[in-house]
Amino acid sequence: MADLSSRTCVPCEGGVPPLSEGECATLIPQVHEEWNVVDGHHLERVWSFPDFVSALEFTNSAAAICEEQGHHADFELGWGRVMAKIWTHKIDGLTESDFVLAAKFDEI
């Protein structure tokens, strides 16, 4: 299996079931240990930074990846802190592309 970060997010057209708990359990070890699957619905991770500017720069880098992949995370930005939530909105749950996006964020 290719490294998740080297893959491309695949657009979801809807009509597919979200990943099962077992499928998520197979994918979660392939991203940074600070990512969490929350309620089987979304991925969530928090990063800490020494100041607001560093947090903003990270957010901008992650946003550029989102645009490139056509798959967008939700971000919460504060002084020295960024939280990202990732899920596939079309199905209101997780797909493999959510883990791909997380792995790409891990490389920033």
pLDDT digits over 63-86, tens only? 999 999 999 999 999 999 999 999
Tokens of 17: 């079931």
Q: Give me the half-sphere count of Cα atoms (radius 13 Å) on the Cβ side of residue 50.
A: 0
Q: Residue 23: exposed, middle, or buried by beta-carbon count in 10 A (0-12, 13-18, 19+)?
A: middle
* Model confidence pLDDT, tens digit, residues 40-59: 999 999 999 999 999 999 99
Is pLDDT of 5 > 90?
A: yes
The domains located in the chain, with CATH, are 18-106 (3.30.1360.20)
Q: Give the confidence band of 1 by pLDDT, cuts at 50, 70, 90.
A: very low
Q: Give the confidence band of 2 by pLDDT, cuts at 50, 70, 90.
A: low
